[in-house]
Amino acid sequence: MDLSYTPEEKAFQEEVREFLRTKLPKRLADKVKTGKRLTKADMEEWHAILHAKGWLAPNWPKEYGGAEWTAVQNHIFDVEGNIAGAPRVVPFGINMLGPVLLAFGSEEQKRHYLPRILDGTDWWCQGYSEPGAGSDLASLKTTAVREGDHYVVNGQKTWTTLGQHADWIFCLVRTSKEGKPQEGISFLLIDMNTPGVEVRPIILLDGEHEVNEVWLTDVKVPVENLVGEENKGWTYAKYLLQHERVGIANVGASTAAMGHLKDIAGKQTKHGRPLLDDPYFAAKMARIEIDLEAMKTTNLRVLSEAKKGGSPGIMSSMLKIKGSVIRQEINALTREALGPWALPYVSEALDEGSNVPAMGPDYANGVASEYFNHRKISIYGGSNEIQRGIIAKAALGL
């Protein structure tokens, strides 16, 4: 695989940089770079800017409003966007549900839901995890019983990210108790405004309202909101999770975080000299950066296969493991570089317009928050322990 950009790819890189220079609002970039919390309006603003450019859904077919980018174009935009401080695109509609509908949805579902994802009419959240059914997702207990032209859904979902903003939730539900647990699961699209849907906040250690519980009590869902076939939802869930795990590798975010670490290490001093000049600290940085460069190459290979119509397979699990480990290592080393400025922070200081002072300079904002928040990335999307089991079973026959 040739890792050098072609002239066309270099031209695209310059186009991306120019777009970010002219279209990314400085206010949003500053919030991202200084660790401030993004509001729903902030995320919707960036969503709309990308949609207007035609770059919101890089992997979707042009027929459905996508950009049909190559793997390298995806990689370029991911890296450049993160370096520039672009907000993350909320992934649930664009990167999770969209690919599932494109692969398994009916033509009516594609024509109805995909444009509404693109133009921001519908904000989606993910209803997978339950108490007692996280990494062991096949143990889910939320039921959907068919009654005429509706399913009646009862159960509970948890860790529902940004569910407080969502209009719709795509859910895994149990429609049969026959056979293996995986064989009785279906994939339903549920309007969050339906009677019986209740969202309860879960406030995290950093004071952030990022995740929620979603309770479903006698919720009536039209049969036409079933994606694909009844009891085949496990197949669709695995397809979605393979694409999600590649995203969790988050090469662009780790690249930007590595740049931030280098910047801090160039400012902070130890015995009167920058940390970058300390051989022990520089060696720790170099080891992480080598792993990151190797992951970039692997990520491009996996994206290239996916673009050809292949499935990421166990490579998505490998990327998920390594990507989460690298990001956590960068977070830990950044806290080490900051010294006392990486102490636990005052949560309110991260809100826009807050008068509460932060603990240190702007470049220290959010570092402690990211460190604690990113402990989760080795768990969500299937814990790293589960991923190692998948790799062992598929590659080694264990």
Active site residue ranges? 244
* Distinct helix (H) and strand (E) counts, the chain: 13, 10
Helix (H) or strand (E) holding 166: none
Give the Å distances, CA to CA, from 117 to 60, 99, 267, 332, 350.
12, 12, 43, 36, 29
3-class secondary structure, 63: helix
Residues 6+ apart with CB under 8 A from 207: 347, 348
Distance CA 313, CA 71 (A): 16
Could you give the C-alpha distances from 384 to 245, 290, 375, in angstroms and in order?
11, 21, 12
CB 142 within 8 A of CB 186: no
Overall size of the chain counted in residues: 398
Does residue 202 sit in helix, strand or coil?
Answer: strand
